[in-house]
Chain A
């Protein structure tokens, strides 16, 4: 029960953490601007954050580095497809096919 309440609290906090950055300068108008150096540095935040989530997810199996595993192979396939083709569905189809195919082939 406690858990359910904290889940909605998380949603509200994340909602604020989305709407406030989005509305920030649009609402404030031109009265205030971020220092240009900070603006330039912040451009790297999304790429760094996404990679910090994705890389451990595909490289670690049970907490240790496992360079040969189905998730990593599927991720590499998805990356190659996303680089080569613009079709938004293809990385999902190929990535999932590689993951499920390897899981079916490899025991355990």
Chain B
């Protein structure tokens, strides 16, 4: 029997319900974590460096996306700019989910912010808006973050050691490219998103000659502008 929102009270009850809701979603993290672990090892990181990056950064997309730049000894500002671009969605998630933390202290909010992932956002958003009790909301949200963190660290570690025993000729680094494709495909379901991706990708190829890898950042900005323009054009046509 489903509890009504009125009955949803207490931290422990929140943790229980959060875990049940999040468990099926969290399975999707496993291949992704394995791939990131293997990709970091293929990039030449020692296990300590790879786990250091994994714990400090804790963001698969930003880790995978910046790896080629790190390997190429790209300048720090470019690595930072690329990481920020890949993390911009979190700014939007953070703004969206922020009202769900009403009545929760600043310290907890920092911890919750650190744990904000695509999966936690997707699973928690509605519940955090609806349920009244702050302790229940904190429990519900935190278990999704803590569980993601544990799964992520465990399976990345597994990936790091798996990569060490697999021969180089298996081109495992290409798994990272496939992982980025797997993230990109569902994003590009709407027409403007597809335009943003095609224009961003095409521009990156055309602008590859720009010094200091500036082409990547420029291509991202052009892609964003193209997606936004396509959205406006689509709305105009629909109106």
Do the two shown chains form a genuine complex with each other?
A: yes
Partner of B223, one of A48, A79, A100: A48
CB within 8 Å of A: which B18-36 residues: 27-28, 30-32, 35
B174 touches A95 (CB 8 A): yes
Nearest Cβ distance between residue A50 and chain B, in whole angstroms?
4
A99 touches B171 (CB 8 A): yes
Partner of B182, one of A12, A39, A56, A88: A88
Query: Contacts A14-B57, A53-B68 known; A27 to B177 CB distance under 8 Å?
Result: no
Specify which chain B residues have a CB less than 8 angstroms from the CB of A7 in the assembled complex.
45, 49, 70
* Interface residue? B83 (CB, 8 A): yes
User: How would residues 52 to 87 of chain B score, 1 for a CB under 8 Å from any chain A CB and 0 otherwise?
Assistant: 110011110111011010100000100110111111
Partner of B208, one of A39, A63, A99: A63
A42 touches B91 (CB 8 A): yes
Interface of B is mostly: helix
B80 touches A13 (CB 8 A): yes
Nearest Cβ distance between residue B168 and chain A, in whole angstroms?
12
B113 touches A26 (CB 8 A): yes
Specify which chain A residues have a CB less than 8 angstroms from the CB of B200 in the assembled complex.
47-49, 51-52, 55
CB within 8 Å of B: which A65-108 residues: 65, 71, 74-75, 78-79, 82-83, 88-89, 91-92, 95-96, 99-100, 103
Specify which chain A residues have a CB less than 8 angstroms from the CB of B199 in the assembled complex.
48
Interface centre among A28, A44, A56, A88 (most CB of B within 10 A): A44
A100 touches B184 (CB 8 A): no
B180 touches A27 (CB 8 A): no
Once bound together, how far apart are the Cα atoms of A46 and B65, in whole Å?
11
* Interface residue? A1 (CB, 8 A): no
* Interface residue? B157 (CB, 8 A): no
Query: Contacts A25-B94, A48-B199, A55-B205 known; A89 to B31 CB distance under 8 Å?
Result: yes
Specify which chain B residues have a CB less than 8 angstroms from the CB of A56 in the assembled complex.
201, 204-205, 208
Partner of B94, one of A4, A12, A24, A78: A24
Specify which chain B residues have a CB less than 8 angstroms from the CB of A27 in the assembled complex.
106, 109-110, 113
Once bound together, how far apart are the Cα atoms of A25 and B100, in whole Å?
11
B109 touches A42 (CB 8 A): no
* Segment at the A interface, from B7-15, B148-156, B189-197: B189-197
- 18 chain-A/chain-B pairs, Cβ below 8 angstroms: A10-B66, A17-B62, A23-B116, A27-B106, A30-B102, A47-B184, A47-B197, A48-B227, A49-B65, A50-B65, A50-B86, A50-B183, A54-B180, A54-B181, A56-B201, A78-B181, A79-B185, A83-B185
B interface residues (Cβ-Cβ under 8 A, vs A): 27-28, 30-32, 35, 45, 49, 52-53, 56-59, 61-63, 65-66, 68, 70, 76, 79-80, 82-95, 97-99, 101-102, 106, 109-110, 112-116, 170-171, 174-175, 177-188, 192-193, 196-205, 208, 216, 219-228, 231
12 extra interface residue pairs, beta carbon distance < 8 Å, beyond A24-B95, A63-B208, A82-B181: A18-B58, A22-B114, A22-B116, A23-B114, A46-B85, A48-B196, A48-B226, A51-B196, A52-B203, A65-B205, A79-B181, A91-B178
